[in-house]
Structures are given as C-alpha cells and as structure tokens.
Structure 1
Amino acid sequence: MVEVLAVMVGFIAIMFVSINVLQLPIQLALFASWFLVMALGLKLKLSYENMQKGLIDGIHNGMEAVLVLTTVGALIGTWIAGGIVPSIIYYGLSVMNPQIFLFAAFIICALTSLATGTSFGTVGTAGVAMMGIGHSFGIPLPLVAGTVISGAYVGDKMSPLSDTTVMTASLCKVGLIDHIRSMMWVSVPAILIASVLFLVVGFFYVDDSADTSRATMAMQALESHFTVSPWLLLPAAIVILLLTRRFPSIPVITFGAVLGSICAWWAQGIAPIEAIRIAYVGNAIESDVEFLNTLLNRGGIESMLGVIALILFALGLGGLMERVGILQSISNGFLRWANNPGRLTISTMLGGFFGNFFGGAAYVSLITASTITEKNYDKQGIDRRVLSRNTEAGGTITTPMVPWTDGGVFMAATLGVSTLTYLPFLWFHMLVIAISIFYGFANIAIWRTQPIPDDAPSAGTTPSVQTS
C-alpha cells in the first residue's frame, strides 16, 4: 500500500504541475503517468513486454467508446450544417417556456437515454439542441450542461439497452432485470428530487420576459443563416428510433451523419463534396451573432482527435495499473475496512471512482468497483444485487465527473463546457451517490443471503433472499 500511495501521489502531482503550473495539455500528463506506473512495475521485476500487454489490453477494452466518439463528431458537424440541430433549436424555442426549460430538458434527455440506452448518443443529439435552446434563453451553459448530462445518465444507468447496465449485471452475476429493479430503489427518488430541483430553479432563477426576447432574436438569427423546416427533424427521429430498436450505435450514428450531409446539400445548398467534408472538419459559419458562433461552429471528426488521444492515454494507464497490481492492492485494503453495509457501499463507490480516476473509462470503473469488493458482499451475506447497484453508483455515475475519463471528455467536448464547470450541477449524480450511502448505513434495501466462507467458491447465481 505504501507503493500504491506513492504512485497515487505522484500521479496527482504530475497532473497538477502539468496542467496548472506548466499549462501543458492533459494528454501529456497522462502519457507521463504511464512511466510512473512502469517504474513501479520494473521495481517489482515485471518485464516491459508484460506491462505493454496490460497497456494494450486497457486500450482495447475502451475502443468502443473511441469509435462512438468518432462517429458522434461526424454527426454533430453534419447535423449542424444540414440544419437539423438549428431546426430542433428553432422549434424548441417556439414552444418551450423558459421557466420550465431545465425541467423539460432533464425529462427529454432522460426519456431519450432510457429509450436508446446511450448517454453519448443522447448528449450528441438532444443534448446539443438543449444547449442551444438554453443559451438562447439566457441560462448559463454550465447549468444547462449539468441538466443535460443528468438526464442522459438516467438511461445510461437504468436502461436495459445500455451497455454499462448489461455489463454491470454480468460482472456481478446478477440477472439484468433484477439489477434494474435494485437500482430503481435509488434512481426513482433521485429522479423525482432532481426534477423538483430543476423545476424550482427554473421558476426562481429564469427571468421569463427577458429570456423570451432573447429567444426571439435567436430564432431570427437561425432563420437568417439556415433553412429551417419540420422535415429536417426527420433524421433525428430516425436515429433515435433505430437506437431504440437496439441497432448497433456506431453504424446508426454514422448513418445519421450521412443523412446530415444529404440535408446540408439538399436543404442548405452546400456543395455535395463540401457537405461530405464537413463530417471530418466540422461546421463553420461567419456570423455577427454570438449565439450562432458559440453553438454552431463545432463538430467533425477532426474536433475529436485530441479527445481520442486523451482517452487512449487514460485507458492505457488503467491497463498498466491493473497489470502491475495496484488495483489488487487497493482491493485488499478495502476488504479489511468495509465490515458493515454502509462502509461496504462506500468502498464499492470508491473502487468505481478509482477506476475512473486512474483508468479513464466507465468500463474500467465497473470492473474495479465490482472486483474490489465482491468478496466482502459474499462474506457478509449481502445479496449481489446490492453490489451491482452500488457498482453503477460508483462507476457509471462518477464517469462524467472526472475530466479525463471517456465520459467526462466526451461531455465537455460535445457540449462545449468544461467538466469542473458543469460538475456542481450534476444533481442526479449527486443524489444517487448520497441516497446509496444513506441506504447502506440505514440498512434500507439491503437484502441478505447466507454468508459464504472464505474457502467457498464464488456463487454463480443469485441466491434466494429476504428483505432486511
């Protein structure tokens, strides 16, 4: 543990000095951290080839997120150029009351993510549109971003179509429906409380008259730079429908980008080759309207390259730490401390947070949260449905809270708001964490099983339970 703590302190020092003192890109800080972990591996007599394999395995485990990020970059660029996002913003402004906007944005993003099972797809489509509407209403973008991400992670955590939901149930050896039902004990109260908070803030914070005037100006600016039509809402509906029907996200999002290029040529009068090129270079307009320049000069695969590099470095770091044994050492420390349901809940969440902080991906955090603490649940006779619920709360939920994770980087790059800026407004996330910890110490929804001795094999199925 002394060596583990030394690596953790060194990692934090590298990140702080590189970013805040030397003003270097975060990618270089993560790259330098590789060699910090490798130094510990060499001290432990591990070969470089062995550590490199761990690094490559770590990157391989998160490649799906990289591919999704690439396709979403193309989709955002073409959807803006094709007038799809401007049309969504325009019609949203025409029917939405500014004072209920935050509540409506949270519910819309929550329903979209529940239907599609993807927070990335939700934020890249409905989320981008909500950012435009909220900005035109004069609502601070960090608050809008927090609302959008909060809604998007409702489905990422709860939808049976979500890869993280399915993966968590599999890792914890829990039935998928049982896992979702367990999470409902925490998520339903969190959704209700977050909805009330967004509604109250909207009524007391948003100035209805001033915002309506600004929204009218934004609608005029959109009409002057884009052809706006209800037909341009069709590509968004098609993409969401295909995701809802559980078609693979990467080809579906790519198909959406193709539809965006067609709309850019057909509806906006952009030359066919240029409409295709926008998928890579992104949309670019010259306007005196600050609203358009802020929201609509973005997108394209090229805009995601720096983000992709960051994710690759973070994934590689996670694979290195697992291969060197740092994660296992943390696990052993948790096993000695977590001797009641409250502490066990906290230890699982910390395991997920460490996976995000050092591994840079939701997939890594789900692995660390479940493997670090699963034996303690069996020893204490606590059903693994509680483990799976806490794994999502510590892994999936904390992913967009760390600036260099795949989720944190994606949200910041897609919405144009830094992680630390939108972090205070992730109210759904904070409520899930707080309610989970409260349940642990209050012994609420902590289902019991027969305790399993240390020398017994791990159970492969969920045993019969009774409510504690």
Structure 2
Amino acid sequence: MKQANPRLPSLAQVIISLGLFLLMAFSFTAKLGLPIQLALYIGWFIIMALGVWLGHTYKELEKSALNGISNGLGAVLILLAVGALVGTWIVGGIVPTIIYYGLKAIHPSIFLLATMIICSMTSLATGTSWGSAGTAGIAMMGIGQGLGVPAPITAGAVLSGCYFGDKMSPLSDSVILASSMSGVEVVEHIRGMLPIASISYVITGIMFTAFGLHYSGQLDTSQVQTVMDTMQHHFDITPISFIPVIAVLGLLALRMPAFPVISFGALLGMIWAVLFQGSDFLLAFHAAWEPQTIDTGVKFIDAILNRGGMYSMLGSVAVIVFGLGFGGLLEKVGVLDTIAKLFEHKVQSSGSLATSTIGTAFLGNVFGSAMYVSLILTPKICAKNYDRLGYQRKNLSRNAEFGGTLTSGMVPWSDNGIYMASILGVATLSYAPYMWLSFVCIIITIVTSYMGWFVDKCEPKEALGSDEDNGDIPMVPKHQSA
C-alpha cells in the first residue's frame, strides 16, 4: 500500500542499493564479459524495490522511469543520425579524404596539440561535443592511426578539445542547462568558467605538446604513406569531399536542429558515394544502416573504414534508454538527495563547496547514467549551500558544469561514455586516463576554491526550495552535447 508521505532512503539503504549496482556494473563488464545493458536492466529492479519499501507505488516508479527516458530521447535520435552519417561518409569518401589531407598537413610532433585545437574550435563553433566527435573526432582518430599514435591517447586529445569547446560555447545545450538550472545568465555562466577553463586549456595544450614531441621519435612514419596510398587506391580523393563537412558544421553553427542537420549530412554522404565513388545508390543507402565491408588488406585501416551505420549504435541506444530510466528512478526515490545531505554539514568553505558540488555532479553521471541528469539534479541539490554560505550562483553553475560535463565521458555506462566509445572506437576506460583537460580543470577548480581565488561572494541568505528556484525538470534539449 502507498504511504501518505514516502520516506527518503537512509544512507545505509543508499550504500547497499548503489553498491549492488556498481558491483554488477564492474563484474559484468570486467569479469564476466556480460554487457552493461543487463546491469542497468537489473538495476531498475533494485531501485524499484527500494522505492516500494520507502512507500512509493510501482506505478509512480514506472512513470518516473518512463519520464526519464522520454526526456532524453533526443540523445537517442542524435546517436542514430550520427551512426548513419559515419557510415555514408565513409563510403562517400569523405572520411578517407579528411584523413588523407590531414596526414599530408599535420606533422607528427604537433598532432596531439592540433587534434585538441581542431576539435575545440569545431565544438566551440557548433556547440555540440557529440557532433564534433562524430566529424572532426573521427577524422583525427584516422589520422592518428596513420601516424601510429595509440588510439586511447588520440581519443583523449579529441575529447579534451570537444568538451572544452562545448562548455565555452553559448550554443551548447550543457551550458544552457547548467546556467538555467542554477538561475544564472548564459553569458555570466561562461564568464565564470573562462579563467579556470583558459588556464586549464593552456596547461593541457603544453602537456599534449610535450608528450607529442617526446613520442614523435617513436612513431612509425612509414604508416603515413601506407595509409595515403591505401586511401587513394580504394577511394577517389578530392577536395570536393570537404563540402558536406562544411555544410554540416555550418548549419550546426547557425543553431539549426542537430537531428535533421546530421541526417542531411548522411544524405550528402550517399550522394557523394554515387557521384564520386561510383557506388550503387542502394548500397550507399544501406550504409546508413550498417557499414559496407571494405577489405584493404591493412588491418588497422579496415578497422577505421568498417564502421558506422545505425545498426552499430543499437547497443548504445539500449544503454541510454536503460540509463535514463535508471536516473529517473534515482531522482524519484531520493537517492542523490540523501547523498547531498551527507555533504551538507561538512560544507563550510568555498573549497569544500566546490568539492562537494563536483562530487555530486560526478555521482549524477555514475548513477544517473546521463549528463543531463547530472546537470539538472546537481544545482537543485547544492543551491541552498551556496545561498547559505553567501556565494554567487555562477560559482554553482561553473562547478556543476565542470563536475557534470567534464566527467560524463569517463563513465562507461553513461550516455556520453557509451557514445564516445562507440564513435571513436576506443573503450571508455582506455581513453579516460588521457582526458587531461578534465582532470586539470577539476584540480585547478578545487585548489583555487580552497585558496579563495576565482570565487565570487554575496550576502548569505536563506535558501529557497530547489523547486522554487529552478522549476520543474525541463525536457532535455533538442540535441545532446556534453
């Protein structure tokens, strides 16, 4: 029977339920060879059982899970569209052309730095890390393979650039979401992030440059000519193939909806396959669903070219659907609220405030399995501490953004972790150690907050209820960006 006022879970109940989920997630993927989808599927019933024990009805819990899924279906559409785009851009010779000219233009010693800069500029202009990783990111992964750079290191440079540009762009959904949920103007939110983000970007650039200079002497430069010759042999390499790239990035920069724009890019890939690669239209059209089999005789090149298509994204779609529902259940049951209350009594300074906010945002990614869950719940949970201690809300939006956005790609079962692993062809836990911008930015934020730097104070005030401050949970923005 439903109780009049369902209880919040105790800390012990939270630890047991989330501990069971984490145990399953790690054991399934690391020990048993089982897909993470099954762990998320079972995780639903663990949280539902806790919710019923606390006084919720099954119907309420099911509705909260379905609401979580419906709010994030825009991410699923983008995922499928990008899969179609990658498949058709490969058969259309667009990705091979970018790789070919990139190998001609980029020197191995500055490749990692160039990767970060190119991806950050693309993400800054378009406001989407997903779109940037699916276009510039894929091309840089191919160039890196040609230069002999280990894929996890290249992926780290790609994501460092993608996430930096995304969170500094006023076009970004994550920027708009983090600022609006914190009650801060978008421009003010970006200004609040700019000092630490800029310092972190420079430091990360120096790290990638130093690593590239040290590593360039060990690279197998003979692979470069092998890749270029192979691309020329199997594709008609022409500068005209840059037109679809320019068109897609231009439309995204003009703030056109991502789903139709990326789908239009997939259509251009089909047209290019017919006009410039001599492909049959039906075969090119089929590449939007699953990749054509391309056998070049070079194993690592085949791994680059035999990718894409909506079919390859279906496993990721299942993760996102289960993950979004799991996040909806966690919010309904009050799991993150209980965790936040644990931090509340220990938060008495700007340093502990930043640390707890970043930690809460990271937990939102771990247990909510989606960046938007983190960016919605973290400001709602932490806002009262900023008001109570007298710190401006732009500090809240900045810390929530850094903790939620920059760690989203590190969680193997989150929407960003699954997407980036799928699109870049590198396991999440393999590239995560090389996401240097994320680590540098978070460390600098915590250290400077304890030092009292880049912290803006105001008059302390009684915190309003989080629902009054931020309103109801909004629909997830129309295109997912991290």
Alignment deviations for residues 34-59 of structure 1 (CA, whole Å, 9 cap, x no partner): 11101111111211000001101111
CA 1:10/1:155 → structure 2, altered by over 3 Å: closer, same or farther?
A: same
SS at match of 1:315: helix
CA offsets, 1:346-394, max 9 Å, x none? Answer: 1111111111001111100112221111100000000001001000011
Match of 1:76 among 78, 86, 92: 86
CA distance in 1, matches of 2:465, 2:94: 58
Checking the alignment, whether the CA contact within 8 Å between 2:381 and 2:466 is kept in structure 1 is: no
1:43-442 counterparts in 2 under 5 A? 43-207=53-217, 211-442=220-451
CA deviation string 1:144-197 (max 9, x = no partner): 010001100012211000000011110000011000000002100011011111
Report the alpha carbon displacement of residue 453 of structure 1 after superposing the two structures with TM.
Answer: 2.4
Match of 1:464 in 2: none
CA distance in 2, matches of 1:292, 1:456: 55
Cα gap change, 1:141/1:454 in structure 2, threshold over 3 Å: closer, same or farther? closer
Q: Which has the higher relative contact order, 1 or 2, with Cα contacts under 8 A spaced 6 or more apart?
A: 2
**Any conservation in 2 of the 1:334–1:373 contact (CA below 8 Å)?**
no
Distance 1:38 1:458, change over 3 A: closer
Evaluate the alpha carbon distance shift between residue 54 and residue 357 of structure 1 in structure 2; reply closer, same or farther with a 3 A threshold. same
Instruction: State the one-letter code of the partner of 2:268.
Output: L
Question: AA paired with 1:83?
Answer: G
Give deviations 1:190-216, integer Å, cap 9, x for gaps: 1101111111111111127x5432201
The answer as to whether partners of 1:27 and 1:313 remain within 8 angstroms in 2 is yes
Deviation at residue 455 of structure 1 after TM alignment = 7.1
TM-score, structure 1 length as denominator? 0.96
Poorly superposed stretches of 4+, deviation over 4 Å: 454-461
The percentage of counterpart residues that share the same residue type is: 45
Match of residue 480 from structure 2: none
SS at match of 2:447: helix
CA offsets per residue over residues 307-333 of structure 1, 9 Å max, x none? 100111111111011111112212222
- 2:35 corresponding residue in structure 1: 25
Could you tell me how far apart the structure 2 residues matched to 1:371 and 1:304 are?
Answer: 32
Q: Alpha-carbon deviation of 1:430?
A: 0.5
Cα distance in 2 for partners of 1:147, 1:456 equals 40
Unpaired runs of at least 5, structure 1: 462-468
Change over 3 Å in CA distance of 1:207–1:87 after alignment to 2? same
Partner letter of residue 201 of structure 2? I
Q: Contact 2:383/2:463 (CA < 8 Å) preserved in 1?
A: no
Counterpart CA distance in 2 for 1:4 and 1:265 is 56
Please say if residues 120 and 166 of structure 2, whose CA atoms lie closer than 8 Å, have aligned partners that are also in contact. Answer: no
Deviations along 1:107-163, whole A, 9 cap, x unmatched?
000000000000000000000000010111011000001000110001221100000
How far 1:64 moved relative to its partner? 1.4
Partner of 1:465: none
2:322 counterpart letter in structure 1: F
Contact 2:108 2:212 in 1 (8 A): yes
Q: Please, which runs of 5 or more residues in structure 2 have no aligned partner?
A: 1-10, 471-482
Q: Distance in 2 between matches of 1:457 and 1:198?
A: 41
1:127 maps to amino acid? G
Q: Distance in 2 between matches of 1:53 and 1:153?
A: 32
The size of the alignment, in residue pairs, is: 460
Q: Deviations over 1:394-434 (max 9, x none)?
A: 10111001001111101100010001100111000111110
Shift of 1:284: 2.2
Aligned partners of 2:178 and 2:375 also within 8 Å: yes
Amino acid at match of 1:412: A
Letter in 2 for 1:27: Q
Query: 1:96 Cα deviation (Å)?
Result: 1.1
1:38 is matched with 48
The worse-fitting range, judged by mean Cα deviation, of 12-21 and 110-119 is 12-21
Q: CA 1:57/1:456 → structure 2, altered by over 3 Å: closer, same or farther?
A: closer
Partner of 1:10: 20
CA–CA distance in structure 2, aligned partners of residues 62 and 280 of structure 1: 22
Q: Aligned partners of 1:241 and 1:211: how far apart in 2?
A: 35
- Other structure's SS at 2:289 match: helix
On the 8 A contact 1:123/1:152 being kept in 2, the answer is yes
C-alpha distance in structure 2 between counterparts of 1:460 and 1:18, whole Å: 40
Change (3 A) 1:297 1:399: same
Distance, in Å, in 1 between the alignment partners of 2:418 and 2:137 is: 15
Distance 1:95 1:454, change over 3 A: closer
In the alignment, the residues of structure 1 paired with residue 317 and residue 290 of structure 2 have an alpha-carbon distance, to the nearest angstrom, of 15
Quote the Cα distance in structure 2 between the aligned partners of 1:106 and 1:423: 15
Amino acid at match of 1:51: L
Query: In the alignment, is the contact (CA less than 8 A) between 2:83 and 2:288 conserved in 1?
Result: yes
**1:315 counterpart letter in structure 2:** L
User: Is the CA contact (8 Å cut-off) linking 2:152 and 2:434 kept in structure 1?
Assistant: yes
CA shift digits 1:7-32 (9 cap, x unpaired) = 12111122233223332111001100
Relative distance call for 1:34 and 1:159 in structure 2 (3 A) is same
Q: Specify the code of the residue in structure 2 equivalent to 1:216.
A: Q
Distance 2:235 2:464 in 1: 68
